[in-house]
Amino acid sequence: MRLDEMKIAVIGAGIGGLAVARALALRGADVTVFEQAPEIAEVGAGLQISPNGFAVLAALGLGDALRSVRGAAVHLCDYHGGEVLRLDLGRLTRAEYHFVHRADLIDLLAEGARAAGARFRLLQKVTDVGPGARPRVETASGAAFEADLVIGADGLHSVARTALNGITAPFFTRQVAWRALVPNAAGRGAEVRVHMGPLRHVVSYPLREGSLLNLVAVQERAAWTSESWSQTDDPQALRAAFNDFGAEVREMLAAVETVHLWGLFRHPVARVWQRGGVAILGDAAHPTLPFMAQGACMALEDAWVLADALSRAETVEAGLARYQVRREGRTRRVVEAASRNAWKYHLSFPPLRWAAHTALRAGGALAPERMIRQFDWIYAHDVTREAA
Ligand code: FAD
């Protein structure tokens, strides 16, 4: 199909929306991105971009320009600080593992989309999406826009997802995540550390030439918290929740000045991904808990495959159907793996913790290759080379 004859509306200038805008505009499509925010900007937070996500950035011609810290290792530690397991990321089948500031990734993708010819309409909150022969979007300002294809890359609270699937209710996982950036005062190297305690864990890794540390602290608790990054919290509450952790964690938390709090919800993977010239991708299609650090990487993969499937198909319908077939199984598997992962970090019963940590240590010592290769199905997969 000739993409250079297509008019495409993308809802959302997040990671998935910007990536698909560049991928389609590079193939000649006339792309307009609708973003509700007044500017394309991001909260200060980090992302791990594993080799499968990096493969998409490289295929989009943006790999060399990515500002990142190249990840060397993952350390799993007990909450007091004792090392349980060290995984050498250099042993991965594909080793391009990056720690990225979200704002840097968004800037790179936005610049890339613009340079390829995509246009942006900011302060345009899409309120309705209409599938059909000429799919359309309507915005809060009353404007309507018709296109050959509408792509919903509008994240967790997607309007496009609702248009295709109706309203689906998520459920609170009884876990909350605080996110913060602090100076890398201890000069931590290019590694992720996961400090695992009873019902809680803290993930930390360096960003921006190692000048900052990104912190994600997760706690299980009954009290409900909303699913929104705009909610801030008192840094003192974060420190109090982790005051029995070892000195390394307490020192990082002591430096926190601003912190965001996020309730972790489980959403079902969408049943309908495309209909009547409307398709969804990224968190709009398959919101993922952060425990495999794969949400943004899956959005990048979706973006590549959607553009690739359309460019190979005879019709929009055939391209969109092929897109869902190529993506649904893999994203479901990642979502399920992430949902299963939290309990491993949070074991609270001491003998169980001891047994699990001993097994991890032994596995790491006896079969380090096998420990790291268990992630090959995620990290070594390259959608830019997969069979179409
Ligand atoms: P988003 O990035 O959410 O973008 C959606 C865009 O759509 C936004 O710009 C929004 O303003 C816009 N929008 C929404 N509604 C409308 C509307 N009605 N009209 C117009 N515009 C609209 N992933 C990783 O790969 N690695 C990690 O290390 C990682 N860490 C994480 C840590 C935590 C604590 C959490 C919660 C998530 C983490 N993720 C990680 C997941 C990742 O952040 C998301 O999966 C990813 O941002 C999804 O991208 P997206 O483009 O689908 O949606």
Tens of pLDDT, residues 289-335: 888 899 999 999 999 999 999 999 999 999 999 999 999 999 999 99
What does the pLDDT look like over 168-179, one tens digit per residue?
888 888 889 999
Residues 6+ apart with CB under 8 A from 124: 34, 35, 36, 139, 140, 141, 143
Residue 315 in any domain: the answer is: yes
Residue 17 in any domain: the answer is: yes
Helix or strand (DSSP H, E) at 80: none
Catalytic site residue 97? no
Residue 285 in any domain: the answer is: yes
Ligand 1 centroid from CA 370, angstroms: 32
Question: Helix or strand or coil: residue 281?
Answer: coil
Residues 6+ apart with CB under 8 A from 95: 51, 89
Residue 377 in any domain: the answer is: no
Average pLDDT over residues 189-199: 92
Residue 237 in any domain: the answer is: no
Ligand 1 proximity of 267 Cβ (cutoff 6 Å):
no
Write the secondary structure of 141-207 as one string of H (helix), E (strand) and C (coil): CCCEEECCEEEECCCCCCHHHHHHHCCCCCEEEEEEEEEEEEECCCCCCCEEEEEEECCEEEEEEEE
Whole-angstrom Cα distance, residue 336 to residue 332?
A: 6
Q: Using a cut of 0.85, tell me whether the model's pTM lies above it.
A: yes
Residue 305 in any domain: the answer is: yes
- Determine the structural domain holding residue 108 and report its residue range: 3-42+103-168+267-341
Select from 18, 20, 36, 201 the residue to mutate for testing ligand 1; criterion: most ligand atoms less than 8 Å from CB.
36
**Cβ atoms within 10 Å of 275's Cβ, excluding its own:** 17
Average pLDDT over residues 59-68: 97
Ligand 1 proximity of 179 Cβ (cutoff 6 Å):
yes
Structure confidence at residue 42 (pLDDT): 73
The minimum-distance atom of ligand 1 relative to the CA of 16 is: 51
Whole-angstrom Cα distance, residue 54 to residue 59?
A: 9
The minimum-distance atom of ligand 1 relative to the CA of 159 is: 18
Average pLDDT over residues 209-227: 86
Choose, from 79, 97, 205, 379, the residue flagged as catalytic: 205
- What's the sign of the alpha-carbon dihedral 287, 291, 292, 297? positive
Backbone angles phi, psi at 289, to 5 degrees: -65, 155
Residues 6+ apart with CB under 8 A from 276: 131, 132, 133, 135
Q: 216 with 95: CB under 8 angstroms?
A: no
Range with the lowest mean pLDDT among 48-52, 143-147, 346-350, 367-371? 346-350
pLDDT band at 227 (very low <50, low <70, confident <90, very high): low
Q: Where are the beta strands (DSSP E) in the chain?
A: 7-11, 30-34, 46-49, 69-70, 73-78, 83-88, 98-101, 119-121, 126-130, 136-139, 144-146, 149-152, 171-183, 191-197, 200-207, 212-220, 232-233, 259-266, 274-275, 278-280
Ligand 1 centroid from CA 243, angstroms: 30
Structure confidence at residue 355 (pLDDT): 61
Q: 151 with 11: CB under 8 angstroms?
A: yes
Structure confidence at residue 76 (pLDDT): 87
Structure confidence at residue 116 (pLDDT): 98
Q: Based on the structure, what is the number of domains in the chain?
A: 1
Could you tell me the two tokens for 385?
A: 């080379």
Where residue 150 sits, what CATH number does that domain have? 3.50.50.60
pLDDT band at 184 (very low <50, low <70, confident <90, very high): very high
What does the pLDDT look like over 8-41, one tens digit per residue?
999 999 999 999 999 999 999 999 999 999 888 7
Residue 282 in any domain: the answer is: yes
Residue 255 in any domain: the answer is: no
pLDDT, the chain, mean: 91
Residue having the nearest C-alpha atom to atom 16 of ligand 1? 154
Structure confidence at residue 63 (pLDDT): 96
Structure confidence at residue 354 (pLDDT): 62
Structure confidence at residue 231 (pLDDT): 84
Question: Helix or strand or coil: residue 156?
Answer: coil
